[in-house]
């Protein structure tokens, strides 16, 4: 489970919005919104880096929870 939070925190580091770039990680709510989706749809790639996890989430967008999808949209992903 900690890998999920690390992956999500690092995933959000790559986001380019100003406030988010300064914060350097997703909020706890944003991490919680996507942690289940990462473990459900992207478990096989969790150890392959944050960009791979982000790509996996995007590939599985139609299967994501509405909360996780909103987090991605909020960060232009």
Q: Using one digit for the tens of pLDDT, what is the confidence trace for 8-49?
A: 655 554 444 444 343 345 788 988 999 999 999 999 999 998
Residues 14, 15, 20, 21, CA torsion sign: positive
The total of structural domains in the chain comes to 1
What is the pLDDT, as a whole number, of residue 25?
A: 55
| DSSP alpha helix (H) spans, the chain | 2-13, 18-23, 28-41, 50-59, 66-74
Task: Find the largest Cα–Cα distance for the chain.
Answer: 31
Provide, rounded to the nearest whole percent, the portion of the chain with pLDDT above 90.
Answer: 53
Taking the alpha carbons at both ends of the chain, their separation in whole angstroms is 23
Using a cut of 0.75, tell me whether the model's pTM lies above it. no
d(CA 38, CA 55): 11
What is the pLDDT, as a whole number, of residue 27?
A: 87
Q: Domain range spanning residue 14?
A: 2-74
What is the pLDDT, as a whole number, of residue 26?
A: 74
- Measured in whole angstroms, the distance separating CA 31 from the mean position of its chain's CA atoms is 7
């Amino acid at each position: 489970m900690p890998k999920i939070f690390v992956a999500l925190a690092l995933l959000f580091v790559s986001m380019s919005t100003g406030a988010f770039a300064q914060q350097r990680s997703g909020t706890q709510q944003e991490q919680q919104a996507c942690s289940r989706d990462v473990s459900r749809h992207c478990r096989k790639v969790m150890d392959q880096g944050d960009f791979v996890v982000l790509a996996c989430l995007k590939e599985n967008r139609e299967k994501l929870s509405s909360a996780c999808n909103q987090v991605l949209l909020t960060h232009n992903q």
